[in-house]
Homo-oligomer: A and B are copies of this chain.
Amino acid sequence: MYLDKSRPVGVFDSGVGGLTVVKEIIKNLPGEDIVYFGDTARVPYGSKSKKTVIEYSSQIVNFLKTKNVKTIVVACNTASALALETIEKQTDIPMLGVVHPGTRAAINITKNKKIGLVATSSTIESGLYPELIDEMDPEIKVFTQPAPLLCPLVEEGWTDDEITDKVIERYTRGLVDSGIDTLILGCTHYPFLIDAFRRVVGEGIRLVNPAYETAVSLNTVLEDNGLLNDSGHKAEYSFYSSDDPQKMEKYIDSMLGCPIKELEQIKIEKY
């Protein structure tokens, strides 16, 4: 299949968390146009069943196809863990999630072969992170902890707060006691809490931010497929959401501060 390298990169998430991935793409691949979809009407995915997450993700892929994207980044750990394998079959364009890049980075970093993972309940229950790590290095032990309160804490804006530190302390206590030297922040919301995590777990544990690793992987995927946009044009960024886009706009402004080409609400159930 021939794909025009000037076409945009599609990125989607259950809500606004995936904007952390967009931020890394803008920083590391400044030539790429981006079309972002946030499923803000049905957010969050992290407590929902596999079947529902696949259905919702599949509708979003259909929508992004109408935007002529040359690749799709699943910027949501839950959708990457539960749906990527299924939705990949919907299209011929390359697709990548955040789980594989995060996993590879963690494996490269760990010295004592003990990796921790904090994520949503659905991501943990999928078992995908431990499975992938086991395939790549069966000697590594993985310790997991669902952390359902962290997204709401980020959305409440309590990112630098003693209550949040206490919640992180409780969620990570068991992982730290297990002797991990590497911790995967397995939800796109969690990079907002990276300072809080550092405070709580200390310098002895390396933190892996899959958002950054995904941007690096995207670069490789585009390069391998001859799809890197090297036209030197000024990149354009369009954003779509299933709920009123006004709230998302605030996040875009404060996190990305990029010019917005389009911002529109989409009836995603129709796709």
Task: Give residues in A with beta carbon < 8 Å to B.
Answer: 40-43, 47-49, 51-52, 148-149, 151-153, 155-156, 163, 166-167, 170, 242-244, 269
16 contacts across the A-B interface (CB closer than 8 A)? A41-B42, A41-B49, A48-B243, A49-B243, A51-B244, A52-B242, A52-B243, A148-B152, A148-B156, A149-B153, A151-B152, A152-B152, A163-B163, A163-B166, A163-B167, A163-B170
Chain B residues with CB under 8 Å of A155's CB are 47, 148
How many copies of this chain? 2
Tell me which of B52, B149, B244 contacts A156 (CB under 8 A): B149
Chain B residues with CB under 8 Å of A244's CB are 49, 51-52
CA distance A155 to B148 in the complex (A): 9
CB pair B47 A41 closer than 8 Å: no
Tell me which of B40, B52, B151, B156 contacts A41 (CB under 8 A): B52
CA distance A96 to B269 in the complex (A): 28
CA distance A244 to B52 in the complex (A): 8
Chain B residues with CB under 8 Å of A170's CB are 163
A12 vs chain B, min Cβ distance (A): 17
